[in-house]
Amino acid sequence: MAAHLDVEKIKADSRALRGTLAISLKDPTTAAVAEADTVITKFHGIYQQDDRDQRETRREARLEPAYSFMIRVRVPGGVITPEQWLALDRLADEVANGTIRLTTRQAVQFHGVAKEDLPRLIRTIDAVLMDSLAACGDVNRNVMCHVQPEAGPVHAAALDWARRLSDHLTPRTGAYREIWIEGEKVAGSEVEDEPIYGKTYLPRKFKSGIAIPPVNDIDVFSQDLGFIAIAEGDQLLGFNVTVGGGMGCSHGEPDTFPRLADVIGFIEPEDLLTIAEAVVTIQRDFGNRENRKRARFKYTLEDRGLEWLVSELESRSQVKLAAPRPYQFVGNGDLYGWQRMRDGRWQLTVFVENGRLNPNVRAALKTIANDYASDIRLTPNQNLVVAGVIESEREAVDRLLASAAMDQEHGPSAIRKNSMACVALPSCGLAMAEAERYLPDLVTRIEELADRHGIGKEPITVRMSGCPNGCSRPYLAEIGLVGRAPGRYNLYLGAAFDGTRLNRLDRDNVGEADILARIDQLFGQFASGRRQEERFGDFLVRSRVIAPVGRGREVNAG
Ligand code: SF4
């Protein structure tokens, strides 16, 4: 989003997210949309991007940048039917760049879509009951939910609440259907009220999700609003509510920082929507609309205090928070491999490096979706779950994946399986350094170091982002890397493996040699000094290599 744009005014003047998009889409003189419409498209799940690898040559040739669009398809809770999967797969070839990208929020992204192909893409996903509305923009985005159906009735109940939460917080505007599906009513079009968001929506993006202990795959403490399911056996009793998490910050601006959410109390399931609406309206009314760098809910909370928030929340919702119930997390990654589901069928969690599905893998998944799976699920760590496979067909699924170089049993190391990178270059306009294109090579070198120190089987989280926005949640990784400039990163260390402690800046603006030298040194100390089953991040904190971080401000203090 260009810094000079008055985003608040554009939102207010947009007639409930219409802007001049319908005109922009018909303009044949450019592959782009009007500048103000680049703000509006985000609310429709669409980012205008240009190929940064081509910027210079096109500028020299006096051509406009190589514009194309990224579309993010919303998948609340990450569950996709085979029919939906096949439609998405077709679109990857027909209108996108041949790949599908699974995001860190259980959504699907298409890259390289031309302006004229946007309506076709959106009409195709609409036909299989999917949309991209509110996948980006200053609203509640894709609602996350623990993804493994093996959790049985508790998972089913949590997923149902995730979907209801998503529906409840989706903007009411008819602009999306008008522009993309039915064609805009040019004159006299009714502008709807947005009862939850109002005319200017939220000051910034807002993220929410539901975790089911002991798995913290959604990184609930990174969400603006989170719910930790509390269950007794197969019965969902309610949720612990978490508020004020968030990853992004700006380099060199100590007033901005990643923040770990606070657990503020327990609610019964039927209070979830009331509480969520109250939190969102508090942020709508009190969030910072002057400075987008400090406009996330975490700063509203940080500036006004937890006591104020709880009092405002209870008064708006008329729900009294009970004391939080006990819970325990064991990790913030995915549970890989085959697991038996409650109904006797099987699910397989498949590692997908940085969420990128190339044509070979897509071909295998297409057959799996068509012939073997009851559904495909997107995990919060950019991986896939193939669910509902009958016992006798497991081998066929394994064979198909192996044929696409996705051998799960003998494939990626424990470190690679716990690695994650954002898209970054060449498509993300905010990227300062590589992430998705570089992390696989760096992980190979980290694996070599781990093997040398005899800890090659140790799961260690490694996450890389191309800029401090932190889309891959790098501040919750045991080893976090955040782009500063081409080939240069901030190295963060010492988060907890279960996502309950942030890491801390260890090396500022360093290149690969320094990163590897530091990791080599610390792997050596870890191998010789760890306690039994102690995690790498915990070891760094216990041995005082890294001072523990509280809720957030200290992350960048080094
Ligand atoms: Fe882009 Fe930064 Fe997000 Fe990476 S972290 S996708 S570079 S905004």
Do residues 304 and 407 both lie within one domain? Answer: no
CA-to-CA dists, residue 531 to 224, 496, 536, angstroms: 34, 15, 10
What residues make up the domain containing 361? 337-413
430 lines ligand 1 (CB under 6 A): yes
Nearest to 184 by CA among 174, 192, 194, 193: 174
Do residues 419 and 487 both lie within one domain? Answer: yes
Residue 185 is predicted with a pLDDT of: 63
Residue 521 pLDDT > 60? yes
Task: Tell me, in angstroms, the distance from the centre of ligand 1 to residue 466's CA.
Answer: 5
Strand positions, DSSP E, 103-166: 108-113, 144-145
Do residues 315 and 211 both lie within one domain? Answer: yes
Q: Which long-range contacts (CB under 8 A, 24 or more apart) does 511-518 make?
A: 511/487, 512/442, 512/445, 512/487, 515/442, 515/481, 515/489, 515/491, 516/445, 516/446, 516/449, 518/491
Do residues 421 and 546 both lie within one domain? Answer: yes
Which atom of ligand 1 is least distant from the CA of 467? 2
Top mutation candidate among 464, 469, 490 for ligand 1, by most atoms within 8 Å of CB = 469
Do residues 409 and 422 both lie within one domain? Answer: no
Task: Tell me, in angstroms, the distance from the centre of ligand 1 to residue 267's CA.
Answer: 34
Query: Residue 366's domain is classified under what CATH number?
Result: 3.90.480.10
Nearest to 75 by CA among 375, 337, 357: 375
527 lines ligand 1 (CB under 6 A): no
Which atom of ligand 1 is least distant from the CA of 423? 6
Phi, psi of 162 (to 5 degrees): -60, -40
Q: How confident is the model at residue 98 (pLDDT cuts 50, 70, 90)?
A: very high
Residue 473 appears among annotated catalytic residues? no
Q: Render the burial of 131-163: b for 16+ CB within 10 Å, e for the rest.
A: bbbbbbbbbbbbbbbbbbbebeebbebbbebbe
Q: Do the domain assignments include residue 8?
A: no
When pLDDT is averaged across residues 268-285 and rounded to a whole number, the result is 98
Top mutation candidate among 292, 430, 432, 484 for ligand 1, by most atoms within 8 Å of CB = 430
Is residue 58 within 8 A of residue 67, CB to CB? The reply is no
The whole-model pTM stands at 0.96
My answer on whether omega of the bond before 214 falls inside 30° of 0, hence cis, is yes
My answer on whether omega of the bond before 269 falls inside 30° of 0, hence cis, is no
Q: Do the domain assignments include residue 274?
A: yes
Query: Which of the listed residues 391, 413, 435 is the one where a domain comes to its end?
Result: 413
Q: How confident is the model at residue 191 (pLDDT cuts 50, 70, 90)?
A: confident
Range with the poorest average pLDDT among 29-43, 177-191, 270-284, 421-435:
177-191
Do residues 155 and 299 both lie within one domain? Answer: yes
pLDDT per position as a tens digit, 200-224: 999 999 999 999 999 999 999 999 9
Do residues 149 and 209 both lie within one domain? Answer: yes
Q: Do the domain assignments include residue 406?
A: yes
- Protein residue with least CA distance to atom 3, ligand 1: 471
Residue 192 is predicted with a pLDDT of: 80
pLDDT > 70: percent of the chain: 97
Catalytic residue among 11, 18, 42, 205: 205
425 lines ligand 1 (CB under 6 A): no
**DSSP helix/strand/coil, 10:** helix
Residue 26 appears among annotated catalytic residues? no
Do residues 329 and 350 both lie within one domain? Answer: no
When pLDDT is averaged across residues 40-59 and rounded to a whole number, the result is 95
Q: Do the domain assignments include residue 265?
A: yes
pLDDT per position as a tens digit, 117-163: 999 999 999 999 999 999 999 999 999 999 987 668 999 999 999 99
Sign for the CA dihedral angle at 475, 480, 481, 484 comes to positive
469 lines ligand 1 (CB under 6 A): yes
Strands 225-232 and 144-145, bridge-based pairing: unpaired
Do residues 527 and 409 both lie within one domain? Answer: no
Cα-based angle 348, 471, 109 (whole degrees, multiple of 5)? 60
CA-to-CA dists, residue 318 to 224, 253, 271, 277, angstroms: 21, 38, 10, 12
Comparing 361 with 187, which gets the higher pLDDT?
Answer: 361
Query: Residue 477's domain is classified under what CATH number?
Result: 3.30.413.10
Residue 490 pLDDT > 90? yes
Do residues 171 and 217 both lie within one domain? Answer: yes
Q: How far apart are CA 138 and CA 1, in angstroms?
A: 12
- For the record, the structure tokens of 451 come out as 């093997």
Sign for the CA dihedral angle at 407, 412, 414, 419 comes to negative
- For the record, the structure tokens of 305 come out as 């205090």
Q: Do the domain assignments include residue 84?
A: no
Q: How far apart are CA 197 and CA 204, in angstroms?
A: 12
Task: Tell me, in angstroms, the distance from the centre of ligand 1 to residue 526's CA.
Answer: 31
Which atom of ligand 1 is least distant from the CA of 483? 7
1 lines ligand 1 (CB under 6 A): no
pLDDT per position as a tens digit, 351-384: 999 999 999 999 999 999 999 999 999 999 999 9
The total domain count for the chain is: 3
- For the record, the structure tokens of 406 come out as 């996705």
Residue 186 pLDDT > 60? no
Q: Do the domain assignments include residue 204?
A: yes
Query: Which of the listed residues 333, 351, 377 is the one where a domain comes to its end?
Result: 333
For 348, how many CA atoms within 13 A lie in the half-sphere containing its CB? 26
pLDDT per position as a tens digit, 311-331: 999 999 999 999 999 999 999
Task: Tell me, in angstroms, the distance from the centre of ligand 1 to residue 195's CA.
Answer: 31
Do residues 202 and 323 both lie within one domain? Answer: yes
Element (H, E) at 86: helix 82-94
**DSSP helix/strand/coil, 519:** helix
Q: How confident is the model at residue 407 (pLDDT cuts 50, 70, 90)?
A: confident
Catalytic residue among 356, 416, 467, 473: 467
Q: How far apart are CA 550 and CA 397, in angstroms?
A: 44
469 CB-near residues (< 8 Å, 6+ apart): 247, 248, 430
Q: Do the domain assignments include residue 10?
A: no
DSSP string, 367-418: HHHHHT-SEEEE-TTS-EEEEEE-GGGHHHHHHHHHHTT--SSSSS-HHHHT
Q: How far apart are CA 340 and CA 417, in angstroms?
A: 21
Task: Tell me, in angstroms, the distance from the centre of ligand 1 to residue 303's CA.
Answer: 26
- For the record, the structure tokens of 265 come out as 């109390």
Task: Tell me, in angstroms, the distance from the centre of ligand 1 to residue 542's CA.
Answer: 31
Average pLDDT, the chain: 95
Q: How confident is the model at residue 4 (pLDDT cuts 50, 70, 90)?
A: confident
Q: How far apart are CA 353 and CA 383, in angstroms?
A: 8
Query: Which of the listed residues 290, 306, 333 is the one where a domain comes to its end?
Result: 333
Residue 535 appears among annotated catalytic residues? no
How far is C-alpha 359 from the geometric centre of its chain's CA atoms? 23
Comparing 124 with 552, which gets the higher pLDDT?
Answer: 124
Q: Do the domain assignments include residue 19?
A: no
Do residues 494 and 433 both lie within one domain? Answer: yes
Residue 552 is predicted with a pLDDT of: 84
Residue 136 appears among annotated catalytic residues? no
